[in-house]
Amino acid sequence: MASSDFWQRLSASIATSPEWEPGLGGGALRGSRGAIKLWMVLDAITILGAAILATLYERHAGPLAGAKGLWYGTLIHGRSMWILLALLCGFTVAIIVSSKRLQLYTPLRMSGILHEQRLNVQACFTSGLLLTGALYLLHADDIPRRIVLLTIGLVTVACSLRRFVYRVLLYRRFDRGVGTRNVLIVGTGPEAHALRNHIESIRHLGYAFKGFIDLPDPRSRFRPGASDVVGSLDTLFQNARQLFVDEIFFATPCERGIIQNVLEQSRIHGIDLRVVPDMYDGLAWNSGIEYIGQFPTIPLHTGHVPELGLFFKRAFDIVFSILVLVVLSPFLLAIAVAIKLDSPGPVLYLSERIGKRGVVFRCIKFRTMVLDAEKRRAELMHMNERDGVLFKVANDPRITKLGHFLRKYSLDELPQFFNVLFGDMSVVGPRPPIASEVKQYKLSHLRRLDVTPGITGLWQVQGRQDPSFASYVSLDVTYIDNWSVWLDFKIIMKTVGVVFAGTGT
C-alpha cells in the first residue's frame, strides 16, 4: 500500500537534516541502450519466427522437414539457404533502422498507443517494400510472393500485438503506482498549473505529481493551495530527496544562471531536468524538443539505469524464488507445525516495512517471538546493543525457544521469498527497515530506499555483527553504487556459507 500519509509525517522530521550528500542522488531513470538492444533483438526474433511460419505454411512442410529443406536448399527450388538468409537479414535490418528513425525504441511513455501502432505499421510496410524491391532486382521469381506477403503480414501483426500487450501491462503497473516517475514542477504560474493537469490526465505518461516549487512569477494570476507547494528553490534538492523525485520541470521563466546552477546539481544528484521552452537562450541549443503529451519540453539532463540488467535481476528473482519455495515446501511445512506446537500464536508474522521509494508493504516471516513482543520492546530499549537507528538485544527474552534456532540459521526469513514473488522484495538488496527507523534517517540515509529491498545483502555477509549504523548504511550504498548481476551472485554464494555457519541472532 502507498505511504503518502507516512511520508507527510516523515518529511517534517527530516526537514532540518543536513544537506543531501553529493553523489547519493536517486533514480532519474530513463531508457538505456540495453533496453533498446532488447527491443531490437525481439524484433529480429519476431521476423525470423514469422518467416519460418510463412514458409512452412506455404510449403505444407513440418518443422523438421522444413529445417532440412532450408539447409540443403531444397525448400525453395533454385535458391540456396544463404541467399534466403541474406534477404531475411536485409529485411530485419530495414525494420530495425526504420523503427529507430521513427523513434519506436525511445521511452514508450512519450507517445500514445495508437500513435505507436501507426508508426509500427509504417516501419513494417516500408521495410516490406524494400524487401519486394530487392526481390525484383534479384529476379527472384522462384521465391513465392505469397511467402513474402505472409511474412510481412505476420511480422506486422506480431510486432503490433507485442507492443500492445506490453502497453497494457505497463499501464496496469502505472495504475498500481509501480514504475511511475515522480515529478516536481518549479513555478506556480499558469504554465505550471497547465502542465500539472496535463501530466495527471494522460495515463500513458506514467508521471506522479509531487508538488510545486515556489518561485516568484509576476505573471502568476493564482496560487496553488499550501499543500501543493512543497518548498522553495533553496530547498529544491532536499525536497527531491524526500519525495524520491525522478524529474524536475521548469515551467516559469527565470534567470539563466539559476537554470545553469540547477542543471549542475541535477547532474550530481542524477535527476532528470526539463524546461518548458521559453527564454533559456543558448542553454539548450544542442537539445531536441520532446513532447510530454502536447507540452514541448527541452531535456537538459537525463539519467541512466542498466534496464537490461534489472530485467534479468527480476527474472532471476522470480525463477529462484519459485525453486526455493517448491524444493523447500516440505521443510517449510515442518517449521510451521513446529512453531504451532512450540508457543501459542500464528505461524507467520506480518511486519509493515518500508520498501522502495517509501512504499509500505507487509514483510512475511516465521514468528520467532511471543505474542506481545511489540508492546515489550520499550522495556528493552536500555539493553540495545546497536547504535543509532538499529535495535538489537542479545538473548532477547521475547524470543521463543524455537525462535532462537530459526534466527540462528536465518530460517525465519524463508517466507520472504513470497515477498520476492510479489515484487515487494528482491533476493539481494538492502534489508527493509521499519517505519520507526526511517523516521530517524537523515537525508543521505534515504539512499537505501532508492532500490528494492532484499532478503540478503552486502551487510548480511560482511558486517552482520557490526553494531555501527554508519557501517550498515555504507555497505548498502556501496552495493547500490556497484550493483551488477555478478555481485548479486557472489552475495548469494556467501549467504549460503553464512547461513550454515549459524551467525544469526
Dihedrals phi, psi of 352, to nearest 5 degrees: -75, 120
Instruction: Read off the pLDDT band of 397 (50, 70, 90).
Output: confident
DSSP helix/strand/coil, 428? strand
Whether 61 and 129 map to the same domain: the answer is: yes
Whether 336 and 448 map to the same domain: the answer is: yes
pLDDT of residue 289: 66
Task: Assess if residue 23 is contained within a domain.
Answer: no
C-alpha to C-alpha distance for 333 and 4, rounded to whole angstroms: 37
Domain with 322, as residue range(s), is 308-501
Instruction: Read off the pLDDT band of 381 (50, 70, 90).
Output: low
* pLDDT over 70 percentage in the chain: 75
Whether 360 and 439 map to the same domain: the answer is: yes
pLDDT at 221 over 60: no
Distant-in-sequence, close-in-space partners of 31: CB < 8 Å, separation ≥ 6:
105, 106, 107, 307
Task: Assess if residue 88 is contained within a domain.
Answer: yes
Q: Are 152 and 172 in contact (CB under 8 A)?
A: no
Q: Which segments within 111-220 are labelled E, that is strand? A: 181-186, 207-214
Task: Assess if residue 347 is contained within a domain.
Answer: yes
1-10, 155-164, 249-258, 369-378: least confidently modelled range:
1-10
pLDDT digits (tens, 9 = 90+) for 473-496: 888 888 988 888 889 999 999 888
pLDDT digits (tens, 9 = 90+) for 410-454: 899 999 999 999 999 999 999 999 888 888 888 888 888 989 999
Task: Assess if residue 355 is contained within a domain.
Answer: yes
The CATH number of the domain where 274 resides is what?
3.40.50.720
Among 138, 114, 161, smallest CA distance to 148 is for 138
- Please name the residue that has the C-alpha cell 505529481: 209
Q: Are 236 and 248 in contact (CB under 8 A)?
A: yes
Whether 282 and 314 map to the same domain: the answer is: no
Domain boundary among 251, 277, 304: 304
Whether 392 and 471 map to the same domain: the answer is: yes
Q: Are 351 and 374 in contact (CB under 8 A)?
A: no
Whether 464 and 334 map to the same domain: the answer is: yes
Whether 61 and 94 map to the same domain: the answer is: yes
Whether the pTM exceeds 0.75: the reply is no
138-152, 247-261, 379-393: least confidently modelled range:
379-393
Domain boundary among 304, 327, 361: 304
pLDDT of residue 390: 63
Task: Assess if residue 3 is contained within a domain.
Answer: no
User: Mean pLDDT over residues 238-259, rounded?
Assistant: 87
Q: Which residues of 354-386 are buried (b: 16+ CB within 10 A; e: fewer)?
A: bbbbbbbbebbbbbbbbeebeeebeeeeeeeee
- Count up the domains in the chain and report the number: 3
Whether 272 and 327 map to the same domain: the answer is: no
Q: Which residues of 3-19 are buried (b: 16+ CB within 10 A; e: fewer)?
A: beebbeebeeebeebee
User: Mean pLDDT over residues 223-239, rounded?
Assistant: 78
Whether 365 and 468 map to the same domain: the answer is: yes
Instruction: Annotate 366-424 with three-state secondary structure.
Output: ECCECCCCCCCCHHHHHHCCCCCCCCCCCCCCCECHHHHHHHHCCHHHCCHHHHHHHCC
Q: Measured on CA atoms in the order 70, 73, 78, 83, is the torsion positive or negative?
A: positive
User: Mean pLDDT over residues 112-119, rounded?
Assistant: 85
Whether 379 and 420 map to the same domain: the answer is: yes
Q: Which residues of 260-293 are buried (b: 16+ CB within 10 A; e: fewer)?
A: eebbebbeebbbbbbbbeeebeeebeebeebebb
Whether 216 and 74 map to the same domain: the answer is: no
Among 481, 412, 411, smallest CA distance to 447 is for 481
Whether 294 and 315 map to the same domain: the answer is: no
Task: Assess if residue 67 is contained within a domain.
Answer: yes
Stated as kind and residue range, the H or E segment containing 272 is strand 272-275
Residue 139 gets the label, from left (phi > 0), alpha (psi -120 to 50) or beta, of left
Dihedrals phi, psi of 50, to nearest 5 degrees: -65, -40
Q: Which residues of 29-48 are buried (b: 16+ CB within 10 A; e: fewer)?
A: bbbbebbbeebbeebbebbe
SS3 content of the chain, % helix, strand, coil (to 5): 55, 10, 35
Task: Assess if residue 192 is contained within a domain.
Answer: yes
